Amino acid sequence: MTDLFEPGTTDPRTVEPSPAAPPAEALVRRRPIVAASLRTVGQVAAPSVADRAPIHHREPVRAWSRRYVAALVATDAAAAAAAIGVGWFVRFGVPSHVGQYLAASAVFTVAWLLALHLAKAYDLRVVSAGPREYYIVPRAAINLAGSVAIVAYFTHMLIARTFLALVVPVGVVLQVLARYGVRKAVHRRRLHGRWTSTILAVGTSESVRHLIAATVRQPLAGLVVIGACVEDAEPNSLLAPHVPVLGDVNHAAAIAEQIGADTVAVAGSGLGPQRIRQLGWQLEGTGRNMVMAPGLTEVAGPRVHVTPVEGLPLMWVDQPQFSGLAQAVKRAVDLVGAGLLLLLGAPFLLLIAALVRITSSGCPLYRSQRVGLNGRLITVYKFRSMYADAEHRRAELVELNEVEGGVLFKMRSDPRVTPVGRILRKFSIDELPQLLNVLNGTMSLVGPRPPLPDEVERYHSHVHRRLLVKPGMTGLWQVSGRSDLSWDEAVRLDLYYVENWSLGLDLAIVLRTVWAVLRSRGAY
């Protein structure tokens, strides 16, 4: 099947409609058979092009996906070859027989690419979004090392263990870094509307709107809803900006064909099993994917397990875990990490304390009452970044709050912040004394932001779930924009962390924190 916007054509959402062309032609390509079927069921054209949002020319999925996979294969091969070169040089020195070295490198590189392929490292459903792509790389490397060991055992082939022990970890690191670079290149294209997959959403108006909101919130995932098929909204109405209702559920396959959607997404579970199965049959042979977007949201993959029972896929959702071995490991990591950072950073921390004390009156450490685990009051330590009378002046500045939602109070140009304090806040240096809180067990290295008591008093009931884990020095809120985020978005991120906490997620947040601090976006 061809895609909606072929090379050399223009995405109708990037231009004004031609006066000579009716709106229907501006929205979809003409396909006589499908168009006739739509007229039979009483469908009409989608809203005028003038009502659609501008996006850039969209390249067909099969075209950009081939280049994307080719880039991944090339970078993975280069990383594997580089790792083999490092291992060979360290273990054997400069190759004396270049031909033998090149042959061995080629075989090992091809085997590595095959291991990545078998681990689905080139599946478009895995790459470019989420952490799963990075988890696959070490898993494939472990499988490769195990396979090499088995082959060597049965064939009595001698392979230097030092060589293998060097090549595998070096290759994993290089491949992860290379994939990160490729992912960023893809993200830059998607921010400009390129390298995306179009979706026809099917379901109820409520479930489709929820799906649209999720795709808009994550533009880097490359999913764009271009139309909807629902039965509880009028044709030609808009479920969201630039997402028209194109027909009813029964004709979703034909409408997907006409508008060239890459994927048909069934949102929610209101259609019933028979209609979903019929939709799947209608999409067979069209080259279009069908995906299910259940109403279950903000739950990460590790908590979700699908088990088929007599043809019925059952989705099991594990309860969030707030105790046990993983929490004990988290506490151990907190103690070791905070202890090392305090020990190594002591001279720097003393210098900052002296600088704060010299440039403004008052104690260099600021003690703030916050709400910690299970609603208990805790004392949080920070370097003082405001003048001594800051708390008394807050009431006169409340009306100037710049954070949507009214619960948090933030100002980009807060007059209470000292000149030194602005620098400390820009790079989050003012929060380093919270390492003391991590040591005494009232905070963790990673967790939700520690809220003020008056903020908690204004929480809606569901927001209190933020208090089921220890607050952290860094977290999803901090690495996703900090004060630039609205209150609702900050709550969503914190609740996502609470619901899906894991050691792997903590590690990912810590790595993202370094980049967030250097960028200092949203820090004021």
Q: Tell me, yes or no, whether 29 and 121 share the same domain.
A: no
Residue 16 lies in a domain: no
Condensed to tens digits (0 to 9), the pLDDT of residues 258-280 reads 998 999 999 876 677 888 888 98
Residue 173 lies in a domain: yes
Residue 177 lies in a domain: yes
Give the per-residue pLDDT at 315: 67
Give the per-residue pLDDT at 390: 67
- Check if the beta carbon of residue 387 is closer than 8 Å to that of residue 376: no
Q: Tell me, yes or no, whether 204 and 286 share the same domain.
A: yes
Say whether pLDDT at 56 is over 80.
Answer: no
Choose between 124 and 294: higher pLDDT: 124
Choose between 90 and 77: higher pLDDT: 77
pLDDT band, very low/low/confident/very high, at 404 (cuts 50, 70, 90): low
Q: Tell me, yes or no, whether 282 and 374 share the same domain.
A: no
Q: Give the type of residue at 411.
A: M
Give the per-residue pLDDT at 478: 79
How would you classify the pairing of strands 304-309 and 263-267? unpaired
Say whether pLDDT at 292 is over 90.
Answer: no
Q: Tell me, yes or no, whether 334 and 454 share the same domain.
A: yes
**Whole-number mean pLDDT of the chain?**
79
Read off the pLDDT of each residue in 507-523 and give the average, rounded to a whole number: 77
Q: Tell me, yes or no, whether 351 and 437 share the same domain.
A: yes
Residue 12 lies in a domain: no
Q: Tell me, yes or no, whether 430 and 504 share the same domain.
A: yes
Residue 13 lies in a domain: no
Q: Which of 130-134, 266-270, 365-369, 397-401 is least confident?
A: 397-401
In the chain, what percentage of residues exceed pLDDT 90? 27
Q: Tell me, yes or no, whether 170 and 201 share the same domain.
A: no
Q: Tell me, yes or no, whether 273 and 357 share the same domain.
A: no
Q: Range of 444's domain?
A: 325-519
Condensed to tens digits (0 to 9), the pLDDT of residues 65-86 reads 889 999 999 999 999 999 988 8
Q: Tell me, yes or no, whether 369 and 445 share the same domain.
A: yes
Q: Tell me, yes or no, whether 370 and 428 share the same domain.
A: yes
In total, how many domains does the chain have?
3
Last residue of a domain, one of 121, 156, 191: 191
Cα separation, 362 vs 389, in Å, equals 10
Choose between 386 and 22: higher pLDDT: 386
Q: Tell me, yes or no, whether 248 and 343 share the same domain.
A: no
Last residue of a domain, one of 158, 191, 224: 191
Say whether pLDDT at 160 is over 50.
Answer: yes
CA torsion angle 146 148 152 155 (round to 10): 110
Residue 309 lies in a domain: no
Residue 19 lies in a domain: no
Last residue of a domain, one of 248, 279, 297: 297
Give the per-residue pLDDT at 385: 85
Tell me how crowded residue 313 is: count the other CB atoms within 10 A of its CB: 9
Q: Which of 233, 225, 232, 228 minimizes the C-alpha distance to 202?
A: 228
Read off the pLDDT of each residue in 161-174 and give the average, rounded to a whole number: 87
Residue 448 tokens read as 């939700």
pTM for this structure? Answer: 0.65
The length of the chain, given as a count of residues: 524
Residue 456 lies in a domain: yes
Q: Tell me, yes or no, whether 383 and 505 share the same domain.
A: yes
Choose between 405 and 501: higher pLDDT: 501
In the chain, what percentage of residues exceed pLDDT 70? 77
Choose between 20 and 435: higher pLDDT: 435
